[in-house]
Amino acid sequence: MTLTVGQMVPDASVEYWRRGSPGAKKMSLADLRGSWVVLFFYPRDFSFLCPGEIASFAALDAEFVAAGATIIGASTDSYFSHNAWFEQDAKLKDVDFPIIADTSHELARLFGVLLNDGSALRGTFIIDPDGMVRHASINDLDVARNVGETLRVLRALQSGEMCPAGWETGDESQLTYNEWLARVFPKLKKSALADATKRLHPVLFERGDIIIRQGGRPDKFFIISDGEVSVIRRTNDGGEVELARLGKGEVFGEMGILTGNRRTADVRANTDVAAFALDWDDFKAVIDMSEPTAQDFMQIVDQRMKALPE
């Protein structure tokens, strides 16, 4: 099996060299869970291009650590080869992260970088705290990698946002979005919130207005920013049953959109009401952007359906 993006890294015990540690040490890949890991393979000890790129990782080690990530190097050379090379080569004097001695080739084979001669391609992998591979890139032997780009990708993955070409740290701070929308959709990415904000429009209602009418077609979703409404079910005998009172920060109108049914109740303004509205298509688009958000709203629908009188 060769690991790809989206797959979990299985547990494996590996031997490694680290500066200042007497003798070879062992670690389990399972021990790395809980933090981000940047694992890079290089072809061989005592090779031409490798010192430069390994030194580049060392130069940015503090920034990777600040980002909550651990750098780990690996080649198929032995601990003794690592120890001799890293202690002798002046370019590697600042390397202070583990270097795996993958003499069994198990790890290189698992990550798909093992060559027929037993060396490894220049593979770079970013693994999230759950142990899932989130990024993979592999260079040919003759092309050293850009370590700064690896750091950029790490930060982009950590942002939790949809990151366009050329994304840099801080770009997400330029996104503006409606705070009421953010409270209602806490699991939505900032970029998605910014996009949804463009589709949001403010609406005002006077006390006594019927905002949603029972039996009507679902067309809008509402977030109350000020005021109070009552959700009222009209009965066959002409009576009314108040199902709920909703105030600032609460929502209504999602049931019909998500179930595809006609409105099951009136919504009447008890006071002057200020709200934000999303049209049917726009609300569906927001829900479709995030599976956790969709699940949250379906739970709300389920609860409100159970509250309806028979």
Residue 23 phi/psi, 5-degree rounding, is 80, 170
One-letter amino acid for residue 306 of the chain: K
DSSP string, 196-234: HHHH-EEEEE-TT-EEE-TTPPP-EEEEEEES-EEEEEE
Residue 8 gets which letter from DSSP?
B
The single residue of 50, 114, 194, 265 carrying the catalytic annotation is: 50
Query: Distance between alpha carbon 251 and the CA centroid of its chain, in Å?
Result: 26
Count CB atoms within 10 A of the CB of residue 6. 9
Count of alpha carbons within 13 angstroms of residue 308, beta-carbon side: 15
Q: Which residue from 253, 231, 242 is spatially nearest to 184, judged by alpha carbons? A: 253
Q: Helix (H, G, I), strand (E, B), or coil: what is residue 40?
A: strand
Contact 14, 29 (CB under 8 A): yes
Q: How far is 253 from 279, CA to CA, in rounded Å?
A: 10
For residue 224, give the nearest of 188, 169, 268 by alpha carbon: 268
- The residue written with tokens 């003798």 in the block is 23
DSSP assignment string, 251-307: EESHHHHHH-PPP-SEEEESS-EEEEEEEHHHHHHHHHT-HHHHHHHHHHHHHHHHH
Number of H helices, E strands in the chain: 10, 15
Let me know if 50 is a catalytic residue.
Answer: yes
Residues classed as catalytic = 50
